[in-house]
Each structure stands twice: as C-alpha cells, then as structure tokens.
Structure 1
C-alpha cells in the first residue's frame, strides 16, 4: 500500500508545485494521474521514488516511511519502486538483455555489476518476463535497434526485474504512436492484475485513463481536484482540471476486435 499524506514540494520561494497532497493506493489498483502540464504529476511520482526531495509530508510504502530515508536504507527502498519513463532511459549501445538485467543492480555486488555476471536465476527471470511482453526474440539486439513500443517494453521488464512493490509510469505512452500506446496501457493493466501490483500512471490522454484504469486522480496547480472512478469523470471534472489551461487529449485508437470492456478486463493479452 502507498500512503501519501500532506505532501508538499516547493522550489525556492516559488508557489508549491505540490500542495499538501493526500493519496492512498492499494492492492492491484491501476490509478491514472491526469492534469495539465505543470500540474505536478511527474513531480509527485519523482517524490515517491525520491528522485525529487519532498519539502514536507509523508510517503509510506507498505508501512515504510520513505521521506526520511538516506544512504543504504534509501537504496534498499528504491529497489521496491519500479519506474517506467517516457523517454525509456535505456542504454542504447547495450543489448536488450543487458538493459533488462540493470533492474537487478540494486541486488548484486559491485563486482557482479561491473563484470555483468548476474545469477542464473536473474537471467531466467529476465527471459520469462521478456517472453511475457513479447520481446524475448530481441534479447541480444542493441536497444537502439528497437521501435519505440519495443523499447518501452524493455523499460517495463527492467522495472519488473526489481521485484517492485509498486510500479510508477511517467507518461509511458507519450513518445509512442496511438496504436502502440494502447498496447502499452493494456500491458500495464494486465501486469497489475497478474502480479497483484499497484500501478500509478501519469498520463495526458484522458480517454486512455478512462478506458484502461480503474481510478482517476486529477491535479491542478499541485492540488487534487478529482479522485474517483472513470464513470464519474465527467465534463465538470474535466473543466475543473483543464479549464483555461490546455485542452486534454481525449482521442483513443481501438485495437482490432477490442472494446473498452475487454481492455478493463485485460482480455487483450494476446495482442501485446
């Protein structure tokens, strides 16, 4: 369970980017964080894994307070927080397998990391996860030889190699074409169910948020404006979050033979 209480992030003397946010995410929930650019979506995710230092407040993951952790204790906590990035964050000159195994760096010795001598069980798990997301055939291919969707799948597997207790996805579909974006959202939804893993997705596409997640949290200027199920995310909520700032992305491209109901049930497993 992720518990955020009165989270504040301020840069210098400027207005807070996050203003006393409260949020609880548990079970295998797939939660979308929506809002205009600058609403604080990415900052919130980066506070959770401490890539950004919170100004004040509390962030607890399965009872473990993250805000005050330092050194080795912080590194141990970060192992349990998987992160999927908009820009993939792969090392282009390395193979897919080497990028995936980077998810185990928090668990192996410095010697093993430098020599890339990972335990056999790590390699076997990497192959299992790559087969699950459809990239096992690219194991020895350089990362820069892959398409955007394939690269994002590598990023997802790398995060899962950490054996995370929560998965954070920061605009995971923003760099992808519409069809591939749908595939990645279905994949994240399916993995949450299969692994009983809570997933928190920062996303601009409101239509995808309503179709592939079970809860939507809307931010505006660092404040929570909406927290509810997709069916309750109506025009009033949309205007409260985006009104006068920017127009949200409300388009969605269906997979052949798919429907919103199928997406929500993760029934499109074979299309990934």
Structure 2
C-alpha cells in the first residue's frame, strides 16, 4: 500500500507545487492522475521515488517511510518503485536485453554490470517478460532501431525487472500515436492484474484514463480535487479540474489560513 500524508513540495520561496496532499493506493488498482500542466502531477510521482525531495509530509510504501531514508536504505527502497518514463530513457546504443537488464542494477555488483555478466535467472526473467509484452524477438536489437511503442515496452519490462512493489508511469503514452497509446495503456492495466501490482499513471488523455484505469485522481494547482471511479468524472468535475485559475486557488489558501 502507498500512503501519502500531508505532502508538501515547494521550490525556493515560491508557492508550493504540492499542497498538503493526501493519497492512498491499495492492491492491484490502476490509478490515473489527470490535470492541467502545472497541477503537480509529475512532481507527485517524482516525490514518491525521491527523484525530487519533498519539503514536508509522509510517503509510506508497504510500511516503509520513504521520506526519511538516506544512502543505501534509499537505494534499496528505490528498487521497489518501478518507473516508466514519457521519453523512454533508454540507452540507444545498447540492445533491448542490455536496457532491460539495467532494471537489475540495484541487485548485482558494479563489476557484473560493467562486464554485462547478468545472472541466468535475470536473463530468464527478462525473456519471460519480453515475451509477455511482445518484444522477445528484439532482444539483441539496438534500442534506437525500435518504434516508439516497442521502446516503451522495453521501458515497461525494465521497470518490472526491478521486482517493484508499485509501478509509476509519467505520461507513458504522450510520445505515441493513438493506437499504440491504447495498446500501452491496456498492457499496463493487464500487467497490474497479472502481477497484483498497483500502478499510478500521470496522464493527459482523459479518455484513456476513463477507459483503462480503475480510479481517477484529478489535481488542480497542487491539490487533489477529485478522487473517484471513472464513471463519476462528469462535466462538472472536468470543469473543476481544468477550468480553475491560480488566483482562485490562492484565495482558497487565504480562506483556509484565516
């Protein structure tokens, strides 16, 4: 279970990007986060895996308080948080297998990684996952020779090779055509059920969020203002998520503080 409590992220002396945010995700649910640019969606994901340091608040994953971890303990915790990126984040000159095995870097020695001496069990698991997502035939192909959808499938397998307890996806379909986007969203949904893995997806495409996820969280200027099943996302809810103004939100802050 992921439990976020009273999370605040502030850059410098400006207004907080995340404002006392609470969020709980359990089981194998697929949860999408929607909202306009600047709502804090990507910052939220990056606070969870500590790519961005929270200003205050608590982020707990299966009983481990992530915000207090440092050094080796933080590296160990990050192994359990898979991340799928919008821009794929692959090493183009490496093969698909080599990119996929980078998901195991937190588990093997530096020497083994440099020499590409991957454990047999890791190779077996990689082939198993690549077969599942339809890219096993590209195991020895350089990443820069793949299509966008194939590259994103490599990114998904790399994240799953970490044996994660939660999977985060930051705009995983933004660089893909509509058909491929639907395939990737369907894949993430299916894998969540098969692996009993909670998945948290930051996404701009509301139609895909409604079709492929179990729950939608709507953010506006650092706050969660909608959290319900996709069927409950009506026009009124959409207007509250996408039509608000920063000025109105600051007025709410002042009222809350008075």
**TM tier, shorter chain?**
over 0.9
Equivalents in 2 of 1:36, 1:200: separation in Å?
A: 17
Correspondence for 1:241 = 241
Which SS does the other structure have where 1:67 is aligned? helix
Equivalents in 2 of 1:194, 1:167: separation in Å?
A: 13
Name the TM-score, length of structure 2 as normaliser: 0.94
Moved over 6 A (4+): none
Equivalents in 1 of 2:170, 2:134: separation in Å?
A: 22
Correspondence for 2:19 = 19
Equivalents in 1 of 2:145, 2:65: separation in Å?
A: 40
Correspondence for 1:265 = none
Which SS does the other structure have where 1:216 is aligned? strand
Structure 1 residues 68-79: aligned runs within 5 Å: 68-79=68-79
Is residue 192 of structure 1 aligned with residue 192 of structure 2?
yes
Equivalents in 1 of 2:91, 2:221: separation in Å?
A: 34
Name the TM-score, length of structure 1 as normaliser: 0.89
Which SS does the other structure have where 1:28 is aligned? coil
1:113 Cα deviation from its structure 2 partner: 1.0
Q: CA offsets, 1:155-194, max 9 Å, x none?
A: 0000000000000000000000000000000000000000
Correspondence for 1:41 = 41
Contact 2:167–2:198 (8 Å) recurs in 1: yes
Number of positions where the alignment pairs a residue of Structure 1 with one of Structure 2:
245
Structure 1 residues 1-272: aligned runs within 5 Å: 1-243=1-243
1:205 Cα deviation from its structure 2 partner: 0.3
1:25 Cα deviation from its structure 2 partner: 0.3
1:114 Cα deviation from its structure 2 partner: 1.0
Unaligned runs of 5+ in 2: 246-258
Q: CA offsets, 1:96-141, max 9 Å, x none?
A: 0000000000000111111110100000000000000000000000
Equivalents in 1 of 2:230, 2:211: separation in Å?
A: 8
When the two chains are superposed, the root-mean-square deviation of aligned CA atoms in Å is 0.6
Equivalents in 2 of 1:222, 1:116: separation in Å?
A: 42
Which SS does the other structure have where 1:240 is aligned? helix
Which SS does the other structure have where 2:162 is aligned? coil
Equivalents in 1 of 2:116, 2:228: separation in Å?
A: 45
1:212 Cα deviation from its structure 2 partner: 0.4
Which SS does the other structure have where 2:103 is aligned? helix
- Higher share in helix: 2
Equivalents in 1 of 2:110, 2:206: separation in Å?
A: 43
Equivalents in 2 of 1:242, 1:235: separation in Å?
A: 10
Correspondence for 1:251 = none
Equivalents in 2 of 1:185, 1:25: separation in Å?
A: 18
Q: CA offsets, 1:179-215, max 9 Å, x none?
A: 0000000000000000000000000000000000010
Equivalents in 1 of 2:87, 2:57: separation in Å?
A: 29
Contact 2:220–2:244 (8 Å) recurs in 1: no
